[in-house]
Amino acid sequence: MKFPKTLLLFCSLFLLVGCYDDMDDVIRPTSSLDIKNFIWRGMNNIYLYKGQVPDLADDRFANQEELNKFLNTFSSPEDLFYNGLVAAEDEFSFLVDDYIELEKSLDGIRVSNGMEFGLRRYSEGSNNVLGYVRYVLPNTSAEEKGIERGMIFNTIDGVQLTVDNYSRLLEPETYTIGLANIEDGTISSTGETITLEKEEYTTNPIFISKIIPTENARVGYLMYNGFTGTFDGVLNETFGLFKAENITHLVVDLRYNGGGSVETANDLASMITGQNKGEVFYTEQWNDDYQTYFEENSPDDLINRFNSTIRTGEQINSLNLNEVYVITTLRTASASELLINGLDPYINVIQVGEATTGKFQASTTLYDSPDFNRSDANPGHTYAIQPLIYKTLNAVGRTDYYNGLAPDIEITEDIENLGTLGDPQEPLLNAALKAIMGIPQDFSATKRRTISGDIGGSGMDDLLYQKMYSEKEALPKQPEQIN
């Protein structure tokens, strides 16, 4: 397939800050068919799994009339996207009807009451569900109302949580949780209730950073909950403090980090190391059209190397470590996994906790414009698509970790003994610290005490939940004109 002489550039996502309200006050509605045409065009252009979807083939339709006939067989843009164009193995590409909200999510802005929680069945096969508090965001309703890590709740507005209703009950901006206890595996209500209110909130992904001195080491501890590019400067400052404190070991806690910016993952890897500047952090594998183009014309564009500066141009504060301890759970996904996988060929990465999610593909935002960028987006609607565009491979080619990345030291969070985050006695952090000190450990008892596996949690309805996105300027081909 031919590329045009003049290549089109994607609008970098991190340049979108502050452009949420630049829509015209009066817009002309766009037809559903026109929106469907945009969706098909975008997926045909750059979708990673295009080759697995026959209806995205370049020669699938002889002319625009045939394409329109196909598009009209779907009842809505959502029906077309999810039931017609997304490959069976793809759980992560998505469509939005309001890209302004998506742009806010990319900057860490969402509606929240500050209670970050997990959800579990009472027992295997049970329909009843309980919630447990993982942590509380500062300056929120949850903090004000005294919510604490480890609290258990089993009702919302007086209604028992179940596998069928929890999503609906937790959706309102205001709701009341009913607290509960667990004793010998039995869940019982306490009768105490707490009302929480959501509001727009900007989340600083750096939840905890501290120095933990031990007998033979000086350990830096970072609990990092999202790869959010707008906080890269704060992250770099944190590593500057670690560097000034002459830490000898580092624990990066990613147990609740569902991912985010690949550029930030690269920067964090470069902060941890520093001795690998210019070497391959990860490479990209696109669909056949793009892969062929890049390999023939600009193969270096497929390579992402360890950085010396963050996106603002500020010099990276590198620790030059040869070893890092990373805490993970099933909630650890995408850019978090990229960090682990990308570092693995170069330094000793000791993974503590549970296996990760298994997400190794990156996506980007496509708008309804000739070159899919934001500046020329059709003002008649706010639909956008976030398709997977490439998968990541580390320097030795490792990718496709569908079952996640397995821990070196396996320990499961026990909701009856969560501990205090950042406290050296918190079970997962304690396991990492003991490994640093060379103390043998046995975690069989903690595994037995777990009631049941998580079925969801706070943020699961967020647009970017467990997603990884690229802010790199890509070089998309001009779509072939349908004759």
Q: Are 436 and 401 a contacting pair, CB within 8 Å? A: no
State both tokens at 89.
């193995």
Which residues sit opposite 250 in a β-bridge? 220
**Phi–psi pair at 140, nearest 5 degrees:** -130, 175
pLDDT of residue 475: 45
Q: Quick check: 27 pLDDT over 90?
A: no
- Global pTM reads 0.87
Q: CA torsion, points 433, 434, 436, 438, in degrees to nearest 10?
A: 170
- Residues of the chain above pLDDT 90, percent: 75
> Which position has the higher pLDDT, 126 or 143?
143
Give the Cβ contact number of residue 169 at 10 Å. 17
pLDDT of residue 18: 34
Q: Residue 475: is it exposed, middle or buried by C-beta count within 10 angstroms (0-12/13-18/19+)?
A: middle
Torsion-angle region of 358 (φ positive above 0: left; ψ -120 to 50: alpha; else: beta): left
SS3 of residue 429 by DSSP: helix
- Closest by Cα among 5, 44, 26, 32 to 289: 44
Q: For residue 439, what are the CA distances in angstroms to 49, 250, 431, 434, 435?
A: 46, 17, 9, 5, 6
pLDDT of residue 102: 81
What does the pLDDT average to over 357-386? Answer: 92
Rounded Cα distance, 231 and 137, in Å: 16
Lowest mean pLDDT: which of 123-127, 325-329, 428-432, 466-470?
466-470
Neighbouring residues of 229: CB distance < 8 A, sequence distance ≥ 6: 13, 14, 106, 107, 260, 261, 263, 264, 311, 471
Q: Quick check: 96 pLDDT over 50?
A: yes
391, HSE (Cβ side, Cα atoms, 13 Å): 16
- Give CA 39 to chain center in angstroms: 23
Task: List, for residues 230-273, the tens digit of each pLDDT value.
Answer: 999 999 999 999 999 999 999 999 999 999 899 999 999 999 99
Q: Quick check: 33 pLDDT over 80?
A: yes
What is the chain's length?
A: 483
Task: List, for residues 458-479, the tens digit of each pLDDT value.
Answer: 766 665 554 455 654 444 444 3
pLDDT of residue 9: 31
pLDDT of residue 459: 63
- Residues of the chain above pLDDT 70, percent: 87
Sheet of 280-285: strand order equals 303-305, 280-285, 388-393, 361-363
Q: What is the mean pLDDT of the chain?
A: 87
pLDDT of residue 110: 82
- Closest by Cα among 402, 310, 330, 307 to 361: 402
What does the pLDDT average to over 371-396? Answer: 93
Neighbouring residues of 46: CB distance < 8 A, sequence distance ≥ 6: 286, 287, 290, 364, 366, 372, 387, 389, 474, 476
Rounded Cα distance, 208 and 229, in Å: 18
Give the Cβ contact number of residue 453 at 10 Å. 12
pLDDT of residue 12: 32
* pLDDT bracket for residue 128 (50, 70, 90): very high
Task: List, for residues 399-418, the tens digit of each pLDDT value.
Answer: 999 999 999 999 999 999 99
Neighbouring residues of 390: CB distance < 8 A, sequence distance ≥ 6: 48, 284, 285, 286, 290, 361, 362, 470
